[in-house]
Structure 1
């Protein structure tokens, strides 16, 4: 296609005079072609496609291929040209990778497509059978990831983003057709980071803005990329001093990119290279303290070789700015200056970081402050962790709370007390709760806790940490969290499943969780499997290989197979007196080629030992082809390693 355009056989499309001509775009398994609608151009393109199919065996699918013409071509003329290429003539292109790329209101149709996909995905799950912790995982891992691809080239307005948020919010709180569970915690709070007291959900409006900001970053910094050349060729006049101001006649996509790129332009800076791109009066650089000079770029203040010219720097900068300039490292390899994003360590734009900045939540009231990471790191089931996350955020649907929100329900305690059901009552002051605490293994009297509620006590424990030791901390906080959760579960069974206020049932539920945790801790003493450390690659085993009285290491290779376990084992051994010592093992699948397995094991050995030792090494290989090949070819330029053909009949020790 490029050669045909250079020969002027076809003529590409330009979106602006300063933009490059485009005649094709290559994607994963599709090609978009752009050319002038003439019979000669169509014939040339048809010949190119046929020639490509002849050489590669990849032919154009005429049933899936489409051609679209500009309004200047009549429908009859378009049909004639379409027959030359042998593909369908359409008014609008079909969807590509599930998204609309052509036609009216593509952004609105893609937004509807995103919402439909989210609703279909949620409808396919048996949400009623999932706990809130499980629904949280599905939302974060699946649902919120659905729109990411489409948001690379489209956007969501506020109304569309709110609909997507509402879909996820209803799924999280269990608000389907026949049930309407009250949302006890705001969506903004749910979308906060976990270390800030949220669940880390994504707000679609902020996610859309962050992804569009990434496109703005590419346009501003990747000057040689095609997307930058096209947009800057058409809208360069809209970019002035790092401010993107679109004209009224600009495309909707460019307007949205300009609107979202504020987070990019406000945090741009320079990484100094050779100084040729950095203007001294650039708004993203340190302004000169003196104007009595003729220098225009930062490179003029440098000496060839990558050093600052102190006399020139003194003419431009004074005081702290001068010290800062002289302390700045200059490239000694003439690397070009580079625009960076100052919010990341490596200077590259990061969508995750941009989203975090855009969605920074206003600090909550002090009563909700807590070291949330300590809560999430506790070795408890997620359903208990989520229960306490809601409780610490004042999000439990207790009767007194629901009445204050307008629900017309009784406020009395479900366990038979005449007192309104509040958090401090149900976990501490209720007679049922008192019996549970006192009958537990720890014989706790709630009167000794003080005037604070159970949630405040837990919050204090999380903030203070474990000054008395990790074991004491876990032995205290884990039973408290588990028993409170069991009391609340017993309360729900009374309200919704006609349960009874059974103290022992409540305690046994908590004991099952705590005993399972204790059993997990004792597993290493019961089963050797759980004593295994994380496999780590040993760079060198001195005791096994090196002999202080020998300057030569004689090794031999062998392999065996286990037909029961369907495994092959390749080993390298050192002949030590009468007993071979294993040096390196490689366990592979049954279908592993023998020669390839031997070579892989030798490579692993050389990477971990052979390249670091001055001792001469001889490797005896039980395969003539491999031994001759390695003997005649340099083994990664290691002169102290030689190979020989081993004698037959060696067995793999230890197997």
Structure 2
């Protein structure tokens, strides 16, 4: 029999021109006697191997529940997020690297194996360590919850993405292919292994329709409740007898499944109110200023900047050192430093004069941002005012850090001129131009 197989492969070689290199081939036996394996490998002229083996980068017969099965993925992530890179990257650059790392994960790996919680925690741990790590390599203070980092930008978050959700979307695609594609060998194997008859999913007995589901195992009570909910949903469905059955993905205009639409649906379902409450910050991501300034503006709007009040609450500094370094009168909070401080307000007034606008001060940084950026409907004016917002908060933070770490204090006029220079640098125009 082995000789006939070798002759058949030789015929394939002659007809297709695709030569088989037996020196690089392996004979993998399953429940075979060693003597027969030795004889067969000698006839074929190939080496022997045992499961598990690697094929196209995937371990055959490997247990996806074990962390060691995912070791190639974990090693790749750890290599890309090496801690030496934090010395030369700011947080915005770190986010870009984390996103590119997640997008470069082998899709065939994620589309075949279900990622376990241990593997997901390991990957998230590597990302968290890289993002919040200080320049000296020590773990820093996380500014926000990781769920805010993973949530999409269109709801106002950082949009890093979730490898677990992507893994789920890629696995779900197999269900779509199973229901849409016909006469495939892998589909026939699934039918055979699980004793599935696709023609008895529902039975028709005149009227009404009767849904007849066949389960591979006896259901638990909580699963029976879910089945009852399913029947309740299907009860009002009206089926047509003069049309062929078709499966349609209702979350896409064309009715075709895609992993991106699946991710959007799942994310909209699992996002909690705490995350959606920051949806107003989605207007930040317009690339009108450098990425690190955009990211800093986002941290300011969500109130997660390492100002004195927060550091004293965390025990990093004593409570006696939490006074604003600009006015030296009030406790330094996000609202005070970027809005209510008398020094900061004089800088805001400078920009109101440039924009020739009268404006009442808002009580919160959120109100400030929404009124400041929603004042005009024209896109050009919106970009102009949004840039002005970034210019002010960035230079306020710059001056605050200079006074703390460099013991350098600039006048209000100097701070105002810095904001103008920053605007000119980022937009190549003058703020007074219309």
TM-score normalised according to structure 2 size: 0.79
Looking at structure 1, the residues matched to 212 and 89 of structure 2 have their Cα atoms a distance apart, in angstroms, of: 49
Q: 2:10 aligns with which of 47, 50, 53?
A: 50
Looking at secondary structure, tell me which structure has more helix per residue: 2
Q: 2:88 aligns with which of 126, 129, 134?
A: 129
Q: Give the SS at the match of 2:54.
A: coil
Distance 1:114 1:104, change over 3 A: same
Give 1:352 deviation, angstroms. Answer: 1.5
Q: After superposition, where does 1:114-153 map in structure 2 within 5 Å?
A: 114-123=73-82, 126-153=85-112
Looking at structure 2, the residues matched to 438 and 450 of structure 1 have their Cα atoms a distance apart, in angstroms, of: 10
Residues 94, 101 of structure 1: 8 Å contact kept: yes
Q: Map Cα deviations across residues 67-95 of structure 1 (whole Å, 9 max, x no partner).
A: 11112x12232111111111111112532
Q: Which residue of 1 aligns with 2:55?
A: 96
Give 1:403 deviation, angstroms. Answer: 3.2
Q: Which residue of 1 aligns with 2:401?
A: 492
Looking at structure 2, the residues matched to 442 and 477 of structure 1 have their Cα atoms a distance apart, in angstroms, of: 16
Looking at structure 1, the residues matched to 402 and 217 of structure 2 have their Cα atoms a distance apart, in angstroms, of: 62
Q: 1:80 aligns with which of 15, 19, 39?
A: 39
Q: Give the SS at the match of 1:164.
A: helix
Distance 1:84 1:455, change over 3 A: same
Looking at structure 2, the residues matched to 416 and 431 of structure 1 have their Cα atoms a distance apart, in angstroms, of: 7
Return 5+ residue gaps in structure 1 as ranges.
Answer: 1-39, 249-258, 268-280, 289-296, 303-329, 331-335, 523-655
Q: Which residue of 1 aligns with 2:207?
A: none
Q: Which residue of 2 aligns with 1:14?
A: none
Looking at structure 2, the residues matched to 104 and 476 of structure 1 have their Cα atoms a distance apart, in angstroms, of: 55
Give 1:474 deviation, angstroms. Answer: 4.2
Q: Which residue of 2 aligns with 1:64?
A: 24
Residues 121, 143 of structure 1: 8 Å contact kept: no
TM-score normalised according to structure 1 size: 0.55
Give 1:112 deviation, angstroms. Answer: 2.6
Q: Which residue of 2 aligns with 1:376?
A: 285
Distance 1:121 1:417, change over 3 A: same
Looking at structure 1, the residues matched to 261 and 276 of structure 2 have their Cα atoms a distance apart, in angstroms, of: 28
Residues 41, 47 of structure 2: 8 Å contact kept: yes
Q: 1:433 aligns with which of 324, 341, 344?
A: 344
Q: After superposition, where does 1:85-484 map in structure 2 within 5 Å?
A: 85-103=44-62, 108-123=67-82, 126-174=85-133, 178-237=137-196, 247=217, 287=237, 298-299=240-241, 302=242, 336-360=244-268, 361-364=270-273, 368-377=277-286, 379-409=288-318, 410-415=321-326, 417-430=328-341, 432-434=343-345, 436-437=347-348, 442=353, 449-450=360-361, 452-462=363-373, 464-467=374-377, 469-484=378-393
Looking at secondary structure, tell me which structure has more strand per residue: 1
Looking at structure 2, the residues matched to 435 and 392 of structure 1 have their Cα atoms a distance apart, in angstroms, of: 20
Give 1:488 deviation, angstroms. Answer: 1.1
Q: Map Cα deviations across residues 364-415 of structure 1 (whole Å, 9 max, x no partner).
A: 3599444444322262222222111122222212221233345455423344
Looking at structure 1, the residues matched to 216 and 403 of structure 2 have their Cα atoms a distance apart, in angstroms, of: 62
Residues 100, 109 of structure 1: 8 Å contact kept: no
Return 5+ residue gaps in structure 2 as ranges.
Answer: 202-210
Give 1:155 deviation, angstroms. Answer: 1.3
Looking at structure 2, the residues matched to 457 and 242 of structure 1 have their Cα atoms a distance apart, in angstroms, of: 59
Looking at structure 2, the residues matched to 439 and 200 of structure 1 have their Cα atoms a distance apart, in angstroms, of: 34
Q: After superposition, where does 1:612-651 map in structure 2 within 5 Å?
A: none
Residues 297, 390 of structure 2: 8 Å contact kept: yes
Looking at structure 2, the residues matched to 63 and 244 of structure 1 have their Cα atoms a distance apart, in angstroms, of: 49
Give 1:244 deviation, angstroms. Answer: 8.6
Give 1:420 deviation, angstroms. Answer: 2.2
CA RMSD of aligned residues (A): 3.8
Looking at structure 2, the residues matched to 376 and 393 of structure 1 have their Cα atoms a distance apart, in angstroms, of: 14
Q: Which residue of 2 aligns with 1:572?
A: none
Residues 281, 301 of structure 2: 8 Å contact kept: no
